[in-house]
Amino acid sequence: MKRRTFLQTSVAAALASKVYAAPAKRPRIILRSSWQVVNIGDIAHTPGVMALLEKYLPEAEVTLWASGDFSEEVHAMEAKRFPDMRVVKGSIGESGKFSNAELKDAVNSCDFLLHGSGPSFVARRDVGRFVQHTKKPFGIYGITYGGADRETIDLMSSAKFVYFRDSISLKKAKQDGIQSPIMEFGPDGAFACDLRDDAAADAYLKKVGLERGEFLCCITRLRYTPYWEVKQGRKLDEKRHARNKAMKDHDHQPIREAIAKVVTETDKKVLLCPEDMTQMKVTKQNIYDHLSDEVKQNVVWRDKFWLTDQALSTYVRSAGFFGLEMHSPIMCIGNGVPAIVGRFEEQTSKGFMWQDIGLGDWLFDVDQPEQVAQYPSSVLDLVKRPEHAQQMVAQAQAIVTRRQRESMEVVRQLVGL
């Protein structure tokens, strides 16, 4: 199996003209992250990057600059893993005025801003004002890029580095003329997420009759997330809703076939679970309700949302993952669990990271009939050939770990460590 070869920019050469004096105090990094909390994958970006900073830059003090909807519940979950974490919220005005004293203190005392992993350059405005009013350095870590206006391109070019989480994004950024000194593939931060709630996971699995290693997790989705169902003030998008209705049977049929194969041709069960707050309803209506009574006997439908720690503790107790989502598979591979990904044209290019880390055989485009036809049998193969599946996971982990180490070394040098 071949993986895409990336141009490895020499860190020394890239930094030769970028002199940055090491501070006398411990380096202080602001991590601009935490985009929303209705999705456990979006939550996972933040603890993933924090875990990397903890591992590779233990000398640094890290402050999380969180978005406004960063909830107390999510904060409490992450604080269990990072008890010393400091969190600030707010914004910098166009004139340079800070919305609160805590953010002002964090920005004024930091040495470097790291824009965390995400679906795009999410906090472009915040980073732009940070740069405009402080002149301090910043970098962008593990994002997808699909195009931007001239102002954003210029801002990204002024970053000390931009790591793209898929090769399609990297190619597009170069075509658009982004010229940061270091532009390379850098894994999504969620690969490093290691949050756990083992007690909650064990209690739930016991309650629903699932045993460690004897079930697969499955998460599905609609073409467009119906945020209007879970976000206050969000109006129904008629066009997207119509597209969801038109494609829901097409997209879920191969998943239903895969589930039927797993529970009738092996001794494994299937757990239908959510990645975002809309997906309990989605899996019930589009998968569970369509299964035969015989198949349903070995399928569990989770009817409540959960947070990243319980979800990940459940994934690592499973025999593998399949579905139409992305970040649960990312967390699975990062923690040694085989994971098959389905994608479609409405999604960004993030799914292609599976090719970039050597898992092209586990990436399926559900808009391509020949790939859809292979999906159920590939899920079955994951179960029937566990040793082969673990070899694929190990190879992918090696690529991810190497790039994490190399990219964090860039951050170390930039903050003077």
Q: Where are the domains of the chain?
A: 11-193+399-414, 198-397
Instruction: Give CATH for domain 11-193+399-414.
Output: 3.40.50.2000
CA 156-157-159 angle, to 5 degrees, is 65
Calculate Rg over the CA atoms of the chain.
21
Q: Is the pLDDT reported for residue 7 higher than 80?
A: no
pLDDT of residue 260: 98
Average pLDDT for the chain: 94
Contact 106, 87 (CB under 8 A): no
Cβ neighbours of 60 (radius 10 Å): 20
Q: Tell me what the mean pLDDT of segment 398-412 comes to.
A: 98
d(CA 330, CA 197): 18
H or E stretch covering 238: helix 238-265
DSSP 3-state of 5: coil
pLDDT of residue 232: 85
Q: Is the pLDDT reported for residue 14 higher than 60?
A: no
d(CA 415, CA 29): 8
Q: Is the pLDDT reported for residue 349 higher than 50?
A: yes
With bands split at pLDDT 50, 70 and 90, how would you rate the model's confidence at 12?
very low
d(CA 289, CA 279): 14
Altogether, the residues listed in the chain come to a count of 417
With bands split at pLDDT 50, 70 and 90, how would you rate the model's confidence at 206?
very high
d(CA 30, CA 335): 26
* Alpha helix stretches (DSSP H) within 148-209: 150-157, 167-175, 198-208
Q: Is the pLDDT reported for residue 10 higher than 50?
A: no
What percent of the chain lies above the pLDDT cut of 70? 94
Q: Tell me what the mean pLDDT of segment 60-69 comes to.
A: 96
d(CA 192, CA 338): 15
**Could you read off the pLDDT of 188-198 as tens digits, one per residue?**
999 999 999 99
Q: Tell me what the mean pLDDT of segment 295-312 comes to.
A: 98
Q: Is the pLDDT reported for residue 337 higher than 50?
A: yes
With bands split at pLDDT 50, 70 and 90, how would you rate the model's confidence at 417?
confident
> What are the φ and ψ backbone dihedral angles of 287, each rounded to 5 degrees?
-125, -70
**Could you read off the pLDDT of 108-158 as tens digits, one per residue?**
999 999 999 999 999 999 999 999 999 999 999 999 999 999 999 999 999
d(CA 357, CA 334): 11
d(CA 268, CA 14): 50
Contact 193, 78 (CB under 8 A): no
pLDDT of residue 25: 78
DSSP 3-state of 300: strand
- Helix axis angle, 124-134 relative to 101-109, nearest 10°? 60
For the whole model, what pTM was predicted? Answer: 0.92
Q: Tell me what the mean pLDDT of segment 379-397 comes to.
A: 98
Q: Is the pLDDT reported for residue 23 higher than 90?
A: no
Q: Tell me what the mean pLDDT of segment 367-384 comes to.
A: 97
pLDDT of residue 24: 59
Q: What homologous superfamily is domain 198-397 in, according to CATH?
A: Glycogen Phosphorylase B; (3.40.50.2000)
- Which long-range contacts (C-beta less than 8 Å, at least 24 apart) are formed by 87-95? 87/63, 88/63, 88/64, 89/65, 91/126, 91/129, 92/126, 92/129, 92/130, 92/133, 93/129, 94/129
pLDDT of residue 15: 40
DSSP string, 88-139: E---B-TTS-BSSHHHHHHHHH-SEEEE--BSS-TTHHHHHHHHHHH---EE
Contact 115, 141 (CB under 8 A): yes
